[in-house]
Amino acid sequence: MKAPSATALLQGTLDVLILKVLALEPMHGLGISRRVGQVTSGTFQVKPGSLFPALHRMQEAGWLTSFWGESENRRRAKFYQLTNLGRRRLKEETTQWARISAAMASALEMS
């Protein structure tokens, strides 16, 4: 059986990763993509085709707001930031992932 690719794993983790990187500061799309790569040591590389639909969906859910600003290279860019609802969602997701991770670690350590 073939192991799942990083892309397949990303589908289940993308929301929480976006919420986590935006918890520190507002960012534009390319910044979010880069930061996700950094915080996951390159395990997850978020492509625009996955990132922007997720950002749009999360904005529709009320987890994010956006505003136009200037990027580090002085180009106009859309920045995203967490709402209070997004912060609550991040807390819920973090708790759920901690529970899932602990359960998986326990199962994988069985002899």
For 15-31, what is the mean pLDDT? 96
Q: Please give the Cα distance from 69 to 3 (Å, whole number).
A: 41
CA nearest 98: which of 1, 5, 7, 20? Answer: 20
For 94-109, what is the mean pLDDT? 90
Q: Please give the Cα distance from 74 to 9 (Å, whole number).
A: 34
Considering all CA atoms of the chain, what is the largest pairwise distance in Å, rounded to the nearest integer? 56
pLDDT of residue 29 exceeding 60, the answer is yes
End-to-end CA distance of the chain: 21
Residue 35: its pLDDT value, please? 96
For 27-46, what is the mean pLDDT? 93
pLDDT of residue 110 exceeding 70, the answer is yes
Q: Please give the Cα distance from 71 to 31 (Å, whole number).
A: 9
Instruction: Please give the model's pTM, rounded to 2 decimal places.
Output: 0.84
For 3-18, what is the mean pLDDT? 68
Q: List, for residues 37-46, the tens digit of each pLDDT value.
A: 999 999 888 8
Q: Tally Cβ neighbours within 10 Å of residue 87.
A: 14
Q: Count each helix (H run) and each strand (E run) in the chain, helices first.
A: 4, 3
For the chain, give every domain's residue range.
6-108
Q: Which CATH architecture has domain 6-108?
A: Orthogonal Bundle (1.10)
